[in-house]
């Protein structure tokens, strides 16, 4: 973020989008020039009529009628050219805005996940919507208005100088003062508009986070606290808007109207001094008409500075995101043949200061079953993210099929290794689209993967089958069914390695058994990595890693770790005791119900 009033680099970059199609822009500018010439010719014709006929008290019918028809034709021509050039400029501007939005969203999709670690969702949405809307105003309103008014004023000054250079000199003396006012306004408003934009992004972020966390807010009875926080943001945003409005009220119309009045008095005074013999009454009329016409363009130009300032501030943020470092991949395009995964002394830190993982070693063979367990914050999900290639490794090496993960091309990595997260996202769309996710997949394949994870029976129970809408549509899935849907989703691509991140954390024992059956089937085709708190899910794992504070403290299969009687044994005993208590409670409830009946 620059502290300058005008970031010339950002302004030049915005203009470069328009200059990309020079031919279309030249046609639009040509139409604008024709409209301006037709527009300023009206007062010139009236001046000619006053000095040539009214002053001489001569009214030849044919000449008067010809001038009247010419005046009407000029006004109609000016209106037509204005309409055509406005369409041209809007077409160019909207096309440019679409290009910017596509670039921005494309860059967002390819940002490394670390870019979203500290970026609130509301602020990101604000950049994509509100900031691009400000850029649209820049192209649609600012550029068109500036070109129109600059060309109009330039043509008008040329015509005025042909009529009387003395009176034109009066106007030219005042123009630098107007320009100075515009520059002063732009400099004064820069920080104000930047602050207003930042507060608007904070408001969007607050709304987004409050809506997403509504259940938490109501459970903790924090409605009033969040309402006060939101009110504070809106009040500060209102104060910044009022400050901008005061600045507009002081430096825009009042000063320009004052200078216009000074120019008018100066012209009248010069007319009185020079006399009619030097400046005709018609010329005086034309100058007064032109001066009245030049006031509005000057005010419009100054008013566009506010939109220009908003666009520059929004562009700084958008271009900052577009220019941010993208997710990098290798150039090895050879698909994975096996699901073999190796980690050699892997060390990782999110911020470069605090180590999250230290010296991790893993050797997962093809069709192997690896489990990661440990308390919250031990580094399990971080290790899974490194296996997916979401973050670059700080130290050590991670290999897939004996090849460094960093050397693999994006499509190879994403098709070869897939993840089912703890809380899978379900689209508000059909079952088919939730499984396919835009990929070209036949219904037969969709049913095959649904059957493989045990979800086909549930979908068949829906009247519309694969066309049933999920999410906010016609049906809602349970937490366990969402996990099964996510598994079916990744199986469409038949990955060589499947990672399940807490896939059984929030499901019932019946669904857990169904997922275990699915895992047993999947092991025939791929390697599996499971992160789990519920140890019953991973009892058949070939190797279990117990993590604590980013390091492996124990490793082995289920029986070996129980025999060791370390941390894993303690976790297992606690879960067994918890399950026994739960069974006793269910039995007591059942016996109580029988006695009541």
pLDDT per residue over 459-508, tens digit each? Answer: 888 888 888 888 665 677 777 788 788 888 888 878 889 888 876 655 66
d(CA 279, CA 283): 6
Cβ-based neighbour number of residue 358 at 10 Å? 18
For residue 540, which phi and psi values (nearest 5 degrees)?
-95, 10
How many Å apart are CA 398 and CA 360, to the nearest integer? Answer: 10
Q: What is the pLDDT of residue 275?
A: 47
pLDDT confidence of residue 29: 78
Question: How much of the chain, in percent, has pLDDT values that exceed 70?
Answer: 77
**pTM for this model (two decimals):** 0.63
- Classify strands 497-501 and 527-531 as parallel, antiparallel or unpaired: parallel
- Using a 10 angstrom Cβ sphere, with 0-12 exposed, 13-18 middle and 19 or more buried, the burial of residue 387 is buried
**Domains defined along the chain, listed by start:** 8-322 (1.20.1560.10), 341-420+528-588 (3.40.50.300)
DSSP code of residue 372? E
Section 112-128 average pLDDT? 68
| pLDDT one-digit tens code per residue, 77-89 | 888 887 887 788 7
pLDDT at site 4: 46
Taking the C-alpha atoms of residue 57 and residue 50, their distance in angstroms, rounded to an integer, is 9
In this predicted structure, the answer to whether residue 585 has a pLDDT above a threshold of 60 is yes
* pLDDT value of position 370: 92
Give 4-39 pLDDT, tens digit per residue. Answer: 445 678 888 888 887 777 788 788 878 877 877 777
Q: Quick: pLDDT tens for 211-235.
A: 777 777 777 777 788 888 888 888 8
């Amino acid at each position: 973020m620059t502290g300058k009033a005008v970031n010339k680099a950002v302004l030049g970059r915005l203009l470069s989008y328009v200059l990309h199609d020079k031919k279309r822009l030249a046609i639009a500018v040509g139409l604008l020039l024709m409209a301006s010439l037709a527009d300023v010719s009206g007062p010139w014709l009236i001046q000619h009529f006053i000095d040539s006929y009214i002053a001489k008290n001569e009214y030849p019918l044919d000449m008067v009628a010809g001038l009247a028809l010419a005046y009407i034709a000029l006004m109609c021509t000016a209106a037509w050219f204005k309409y055509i050039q406005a369409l041209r400029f809007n077409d160019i501007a909207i096309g440019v805005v679409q290009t910017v939005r596509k670039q921005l969203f494309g860059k967002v999709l390819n940002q490394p996940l670390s870019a979203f670690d500290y970026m609130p969702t509301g602020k990101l949405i604000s950049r994509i919507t509100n900031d691009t809307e400000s850029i649209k105003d820049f192209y649609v309103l600012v550029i068109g208005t500036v070109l129109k008014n600059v060309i109009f004023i330039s043509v008008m000054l040329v015509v005025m100088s042909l009529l009387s250079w003395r009176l034109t000199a009066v106007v030219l003396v005042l123009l630098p003062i107007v320009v100075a006012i515009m520059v002063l306004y732009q400099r004064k408003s820069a920080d104000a508009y930047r602050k207003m934009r930042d507060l608007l992004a904070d408001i969007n972020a607050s709304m987004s986070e409050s809506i997403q966390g509504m259940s938490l807010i109501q459970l903790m009875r924090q409605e009033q606290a969040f309402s006060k926080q939101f009110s504070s943001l809106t009040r500060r945003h209102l104060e910044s808007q009022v400050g901008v409005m005061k600045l507009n009220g002081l430096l825009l119309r009042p000063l320009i109207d004052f200078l216009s009045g000074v120019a008018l008095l100066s012209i009248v005074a010069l007319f009185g001094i020079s006399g009619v013999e030097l400046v005709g009454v018609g010329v005086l009329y034309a100058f007064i008409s032109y001066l009245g016409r030049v006031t509005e363009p000057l005010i419009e130009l100054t008013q566009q500075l506010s939109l220009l300032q908003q666009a520059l501030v929004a562009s700084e943020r958008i271009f900052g995101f577009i220019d941010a470092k993208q997710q990098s991949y290798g150039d090895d395009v050879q698909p994975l043949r096996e699901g073999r995964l190796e980690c050699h002394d892997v060390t990782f830190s999110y911020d470069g200061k605090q180590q999250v993982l230290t010296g991790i070693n893993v050797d997962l063979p093809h069709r192997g079953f690896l489990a990661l367990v440990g308390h919250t914050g031990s580094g399990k999900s971080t290790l899974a993210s490194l296996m997916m290639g979401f973050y670059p490794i700080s130290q050590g090496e991670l290999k897939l099929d004996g090849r460094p993960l960093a050397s693999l091309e994006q499509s190879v990595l994403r098709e070869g290794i897939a993840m089912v997260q703890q809380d899978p996202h379900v689209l508000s769309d059909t079952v088919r689209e939730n499984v396919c996710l835009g990929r070209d997949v036949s219904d037969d394949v969709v049913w095959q993967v649904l059957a493989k994870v045990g979800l086909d029976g549930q979908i068949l129970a829906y009247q519309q089958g694969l066309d049933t809408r999920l999410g906010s549509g016609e049906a809602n899935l349970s937490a366990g069914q969402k996990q099964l849907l996510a598994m079916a989703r990744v199986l469409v691509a038949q990955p060589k390695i499947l990672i399940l991140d807490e896939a059984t954390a929030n499901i019932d024992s019946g669904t857990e058994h169904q997922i275990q059956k699915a895992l047993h089937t999947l092991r025939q085709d791929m390697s599996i990595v499971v992160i789990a708190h519920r140890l019953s899910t991973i009892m058949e794992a070939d190797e279990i890693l117990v993590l604590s504070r980013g390091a492996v403290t124990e490793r082995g299969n289920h029986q070996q770790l129980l025999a060791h009687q370390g941390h894993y044994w303690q976790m297992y005993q606690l879960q067994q005791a918890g399950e026994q208590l739960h069974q006793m409670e269910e039995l007591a409830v059942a016996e109580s119900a029988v006695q009541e009946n």
